[in-house]
Structure formats: structure tokens, C-alpha cells
């Protein structure tokens, strides 16, 4: 990491606006154990901004402030920045979570490059993270590499090399490589090419880029089913990184087990050269909290009028509106078989389709179908409509200040917007993975 001054535990205090008493968040470490302390100290003389503790749910208060754009920030930050490159960046959910982890540890972030073959998603990423280089090329044309063998026998035939001249100055100038390779080929929702999809091999571009960039840290996310890929991309990546001197940790992080109002799981591979990442299970344990309800996240938009952007409300077919009305008139959350399309009435494995969210439970996984009741359980808990983009974005962990707009600030189509939100890595998951690689960079006083 680039000359980041070590912080003592006392210096790792983060604070957000509001009246007395101050609420602080601190991470402490003993060996491989990570502890998060959230509370109101009697004496904290350096507090310049503070947060109200309005309920018994201090962590909930903390994240509510985050939602509203009062993003927790460090009282005294290092002047150095964690320099990132992100592959398959999408609209920036992974960068958002990683950046939040860095901020709470007193670090700034600096996006050096971002790439995704979805040019419009890259434009949204640029609006929020301002990378020095932004590319919509395929990651596979940016690096030259060849691999022989697979899994435990995987080896690079030669040292991977960058292919673009404008990327050459990044060599040795990147602290963390972030990546979210395409997951559709691994998803259990893909019944056609699951485990054998050619997109699965793009996972292997990540260790190649890490070595070519000389990046000391790597964070890769994907769906949990990636470990079942027929060619063993995770095992091969682990072998390649370890052969290059990285220490690797892998595991599944679950957003709801960290208190988030969404049942969403992602598989992470984190790797570091000079330090050892904190095991992901240990990070999740440190962040453990009872899952909050979907209304905790979106309740304040319950009666807000729609608009043409983040509160847009799709026009539903007469049949779909009738199905939604049936749920409310019968006080049900699952649509009766008789009310479903004829093709579903003989039985379906997707019972949540046309379903209504429970007011007091977390949301199921948010996907790109959240504006359509026939794509999942996306009917609002108390309103006869589906979720709106702002509500889905909150469930994904995006603050209200996040800019879901195009290159020149234009409002995107619904198709683009649901893709940017639904395909994103939920903020709390990137946040946890960021802690795994960043915390070992700090020194802790007992």
C-alpha cells in the first residue's frame, strides 16, 4: 500500500453529522480476530461532527445516516490514497462498498482505471468514482496471458503483460485490483449453459491482470455457484495467485447475516502479497447483526409520489395489476395458483414470482427484474405496486446521493437503470471484503 500511515485503534474513529451524543465506529484486531465497536464514548474531544442515537439500534442509525448521504467519515484521514483498478466494474457497487471500508479505516480511495464492456454502465461509474482511465473494451484484450493446466496444476506459460500503452503507467501504481467477472454463466438461474458458459473463463483474466499490474491486493466477487464451474476457475485462480506470492482467502458473504435487509450471498476471493487477509468468515462474524426488514430501508418512500427517474413507476398490464390487487384483497404474500398465468398453473419452481414482500422481513435477492412482478417477489409490502428504483437501490446499499445517470447526466431508460442496480454487488458485501484486505495494512495499539 502506498505509504499509508499506521493508525492506532483510538484513531480509527468514524463519525457522522448530528447532535449529541456522538456515535463512533471503531475496528480493533487481536491476531486474526476483528472486532467492531459501535457506541457513544463519554470523552471524545476531537469530535467535530456527531450522530444522534435515536433508538436502541445504533448500527441501524449509523446506516440510515449513510443512506441519506451523511456518509460516515474519518475525523483524521491519511493524505495517502488506496489506488484501485476495477475490472467488470458495472455501475460501481463493489467500488462503493470497498470505498466505504477504506473511509472507515481513515483512508481515501483513488480510482485509477475501470473497465466494463457495457459503455453506459462505465459512464455511470465515472459519475460516481471518477477513474483516470475508463474503458468499455473487453478485459480480455487488455492483457496477454496463456495458462496451462487447471485447478492445482494451473500455471502461466509466461508472465502476463499489459497490451495497452495507456495502461503501462499503472504498473506498480495500483494497490488493489477489484473485479466482478460475469456471473450469468455460473448462476443457478441460468438453466442453459450453467457451469460450461464461455464467459466463465473471464474469471482467469483477473489473476493475469493482478500480476501484470503488480497489484499487492486482489478482491474478486461472484455468485456462490462459481465454485462448481466445470473448468475450476476459482481453484485455478487460487493456484495462480499463490504461485505469484499471494496469500488467498475465499468464502461466501451473506448480506442479511450482517444486518442488511436483503438475503443476498456472494462468493469472494481476496488475496494479498505482503500481508494475510483476514478470513472472510471472521469479518462476517465481526459485522454480525440481525437482519433488518425491507421497510427499515425503504419505509420513508412508502407514500412519496412517483417521478420520472429514481421513483419511476412502471405501467403494469391489466392482468398484473389484477394479481397485485388480489394479494392485498386477500392479505396474501404468495399468489394463488389459480391467479397465475396458465403456464405456471401446472406448478413452478419459482414460487416467489408475482409475490409480495413481507413488511417485517428482509427482501429476497434484488435482480434486474425488480420492476416486473413476473420476475420475482417485487410487489411492495404495503402499496399496490412494484418496488421503485430508489427503493431497490437502497436495498442494494446505494446511498440516495449515488448518481444513476449517464455520461452527460442524462436520465437512463428503465432497462439500463434496472441493470445498473440489479447487477450491482450490494455495498455491505464489498465493504466486508474491503475490510479483509485493508485492516491488515494497519497497526493496532492494545
Q: Which helix (H) or strand (E) holds 364?
A: none
Catalytic residue check, 343? no
- Cell (9 digits) for 6: 499506521
The SS3 assignment for 36 reads: strand
List the one residue out of 217, 198, 195, 192 whose CA is nearest residue 206. 217
Q: Which residues of 230-267 are buried (b: 16+ CB within 10 A; e: fewer)?
A: ebbbbbbbbbbbeebebebbbbbbbbbbbbbbbbbbbb
The SS3 assignment for 134 reads: strand
183, 204, 215, 270: the active-site residue: 183
DSSP 8-state secondary structure symbol assigned to residue 178 = E
> C-alpha distances in angstroms, 97 versus 140, 247, 399?
25, 22, 11
DSSP 8-state secondary structure symbol assigned to residue 305 = P
Contact 134, 126 (CB under 8 A): yes
- Residue carrying the nine cell digits 482467469: 204
Note every long-range contact of 304-308, with CB atoms under 8 Å and residues 24 or more positions apart, other chains counting. 306/388, 308/411
Contact 337, 325 (CB under 8 A): no
> C-alpha distances in angstroms, 62 versus 15, 48, 71, 290, 340?
9, 16, 9, 15, 41
Backbone angle region of 238, left / alpha / beta, with phi > 0 → left and psi within -120 to 50 → alpha: alpha
Give me the helices (H) in 300-382, please: 318-329
Sign, CA dihedral 379-71-31-442, equals positive
Contact 203, 150 (CB under 8 A): no
Give me the helices (H) in 330-386, please: none
Contact 230, 193 (CB under 8 A): no
List the one residue out of 141, 89, 100, 80 whose CA is nearest residue 14. 100
DSSP 8-state secondary structure symbol assigned to residue 300 = G
> Which residue numbers are catalytic?
183
Amino acid at each position: 500500500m502506498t505509504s499509508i500511515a499506521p493508525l492506532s485503534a483510538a484513531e480509527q474513529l468514524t463519525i457522522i453529522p448530528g447532535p449529541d451524543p456522538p456515535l463512533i465506529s471503531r475496528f480493533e484486531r487481536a491476531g486474526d480476530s476483528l472486532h467492531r465497536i459501535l457506541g457513544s464514548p463519554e470523552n471524545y474531544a476531537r469530535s467535530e461532527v456527531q450522530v444522534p442515537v435515536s433508538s436502541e439500534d445504533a448500527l441501524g442509525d449509523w446506516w440510515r445516516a449513510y443512506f441519506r448521504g451523511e456518509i460516515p467519515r474519518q475525523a483524521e484521514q491519511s493524505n495517502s490514497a488506496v489506488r484501485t483498478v476495477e475490472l467488470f466494474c458495472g455501475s460501481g457497487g463493489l467500488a462503493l462498498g470497498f470505498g466505504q471500508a477504506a473511509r472507515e479505516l481513515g483512508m481515501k480511495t483513488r480510482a485509477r482505471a475501470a473497465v466494463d464492456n457495457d459503455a453506459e454502465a462505465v459512464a455511470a461509474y465515472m459519475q460516481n468514482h471518477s477513474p483516470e482511465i475508463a474503458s468499455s473494451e473487453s478485459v480480455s484484450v487488455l492483457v496477454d496471458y496463456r495458462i496451462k493446466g487447471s485447478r492445482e496444476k494451473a500455471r502461466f506459460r509466461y508472465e502476463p503483460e499489459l497490451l495497452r500503452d495507456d495502461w503501462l503507467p499503472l504498473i506498480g501504481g495500483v494497490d488493489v485490483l477489484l473485479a466482478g467477472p460475469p456471473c450469468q454463466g455460473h448462476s443457478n438461474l441460468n438453466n442453459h449453459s450453467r457451469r460450461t458458459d464461455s464467459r466463465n473463463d473471464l474469471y482467469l483474466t483477473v489473476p493475469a491482470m493482478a500480476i501484470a499490474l503488480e497489484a499487492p491486493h486482489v478482491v474478486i466477487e461472484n455468485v456462490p455457484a462459481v465454485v462448481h464451474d466445470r473448468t475450476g476457475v476459482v481453484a485455478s485462480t487460487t493456484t495462480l495467485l499463490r504461485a505469484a506470492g499471494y496469500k488467498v482467502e475465499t468464502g461466501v458473504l451473506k448480506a442479511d447475516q450482517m444486518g442488511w435487509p436483503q438475503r443476498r450471498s456472494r462468493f469472494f476471493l481476496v488475496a494479498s502479497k505482503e500481508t494475510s487477509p483476514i478470513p472472510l468468515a471472521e469479518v462476517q462474524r465481526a459485522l454480525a447483526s440481525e437482519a433488518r426488514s425491507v421497510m427499515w430501508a425503504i419505509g420513508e418512500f412508502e407514500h412519496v409520489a412517483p417521478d420520472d427517474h429514481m421513483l419511476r413507476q412502471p405501467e403494469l398490464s391489466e392482468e398484473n395489476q389484477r394479481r397485485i390487487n388480489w394479494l392485498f384483497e386477500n392479505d396474501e404474500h404468495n399468489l394463488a395458483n389459480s391467479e397465475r398465468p396458465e403456464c405456471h398453473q401446472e406448478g413452478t419452481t419459482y414460487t416467489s414470482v408475482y409475490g409480495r414482500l413481507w413488511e417485517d422481513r428482509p427482501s429476497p435477492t434484488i435482480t434486474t427484474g425488480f420492476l416486473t412482478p413476473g420476475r420475482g417477489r417485487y410487489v411492495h409490502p404495503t402499496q399496490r405496486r412494484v418496488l421503485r428504483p430508489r427503493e431497490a437501490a437502497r436495498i442494494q446499499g446505494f446511498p440516495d446521493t449515488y448518481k444513476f445517470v449517464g455520461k452527460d447526466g442524462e436520465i437512463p431508460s428503465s432497462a439500463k437503470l434496472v441493470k445498473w442496480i440489479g447487477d450491482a454487488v450490494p455495498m455491505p458485501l464489498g465493504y466486508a471484503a474491503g475490510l479483509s484486505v485493508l485492516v491488515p495494512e494497519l497497526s493496532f495499539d492494545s
